[in-house]
Amino acid sequence: MRYCNIGEAADSLVKGNVVAFPTETVYGLGADADNDQAISKVYSIKNRPLNHPVIVHLLDGDDLLYWAENVPREAYLLIENFWPGPLTILLKKSKNVISLVSGGQDTIGLRCPSHIIAQNLLKEFVRLKPAQRGGLIAPSANKFGKVSPTSSKHVFDEFSNEISSNLMIVDGGKSMIGIESTIVDLSNVVKGSHPTLLRPGFIKASQIEEALGRKVFSPTEYSPVVSGSLRAHYSTNTPLEIIKEDIDFDDLFYSNKKIALLSCDPSPIALPSCFIWYEMSHDNDLYASKLYSTLREIDLSNFDKIFVYDLPNGSAWNAIRDRIYRAAAAFI
C-alpha cells in the first residue's frame, strides 16, 4: 500500500484497481461501480459477505437515472437538502447496476459525498472513463464488521497484510464526521410505502422528516439489508461492555486488568494507572467524531476491557448508540 495523489488514484480506479480515499464520514475502499472484477476485489479484501450490498458514491450533479428507476419526488427533496453530504438514499436499482453492488437485492444505495477530495477524485475518475460517467463503491476501509477508519493511518493499520498488493490510498486528513452516513429507504415510496430510516447517522430523522414533510419510520424484518444492519458490527478487538451505572473500581483494581472507560463526563475520582478514562463529550456530534479513533487507539494499547458508560437520552444520540450497542453485541 502506498500514498498517491488524485490523478494517480483516478487512473488506478479506471484500470480496475482498489483505492482507499477519504470522505466526510469515514475512509472508504473505492472501486469502479461498473466493474465487477474491481468490486470483487473490495469484497475479498474486506472479507465481506457477497449478499451485503455496497453504496455507490456519485459526483455532484450526476445522472441519478443511470443508477435508479422509479425515483420518487421525495428523493429529489432529500438531494436538494442534503447532497453533497452524509446521506445515503436507497432506491430501486436500474438495469445498469451490477448485481454484486446490490448484494442480489433490487435496490441500490446512492450517496454524494461532500469531502472535497472525494468529489475531486470522482470528477477525475469520471473524466477518464470512456463514457464520461461513473460512480465508486466505497464501503468503509476496514475488515468486515470491524471499526471503521477515520484517518489514512487507520487504513494502513487495518491492511498491513496487504502492504505488498496494489492497494493505494489518498490521504485527506481526519474524517470530520467520524461515523457512517445516514441511510433512508425510499425504494417503495412510489407504491405507497413510508420512508424508512435504515441506519441513523449525522443527519437526524427529524431533519429528514422536516425536508419531506412526513414521518420517517423504523425498519422492519422485511426491510432491505444495508451496511451496518447486522446485530453485531463495528466491533473492537478488545471486549467492550456498556454500563448503565457506576462500577466498583476496587473490584476492577484487584483484578489486575488494564481497563479503558469511555464517558461523556470527566473522571469522578483519581484512578490508578491501570485505568484510562476517556472523556468524550456531551456534544453528540463531537462524541461521534472521536468515537472510532478512540476505539482504535484502545485496541492498539493492549487493554483487557472497554467499558462505555451509557449515553444520554434523546434521539440526537441514536447514531452513536446504534454503533456502540452493535459493537458490544459482538461480546454477548
For the annotated binding site, the residues are 25, 48, 57, 107, 111, 138, 140, 148, 181, 199, 234
Give dist(CA 315, CA 240) in Å, integer: 23
Q: Which residue type sits at 325?
A: Y
* CA–CA dist 30, 189 (Å, integer): 30
Output the CA–CA distances (angstroms, integers) from residue 271 to 173, 243, 245, in the order listed: 33, 18, 17
C-alpha cell at 40: 470483487
Contact residues for 170 (Cβ-Cβ < 8 A; gap 6+): 3, 4, 5, 6, 9, 19, 20, 21, 22, 117, 121, 152
Element (H, E) at 83: none
Residue appearing with cell numbers 460517467: 133
- Give the C-alpha separation, 141 to 196, whole Å: 26
Cell of 81: 437538502
CA distance 202 to 200: 7
Binding-site entries for L-threonine: 25, 57, 111, 138, 181
Please enumerate, by residue number, every residue annotated as part of a binding site for ATP: 48, 107, 140, 148, 199, 234
CB proximity list for 315: less than 8 A, separation 6 or greater: 204, 205, 206
> What gap in Å lies between CA 119 and CA 263, rounded to an integer?
35
Judge contact between 33 and 60, C-beta under 8 A: no
Say how many C-beta atoms besides its own lie within 10 A of residue 61's C-beta.
10
Q: Compute the distance between CA of residue 220 and CA of residue 197 in angstroms, rounded to an integer.
A: 10
Burial bucket for residue 129 (CB in 10 Å: 0-12, 13-18, 19+)? middle
How many Cβ atoms are within 10 Å of 250's Cβ, its own excluded? Answer: 8
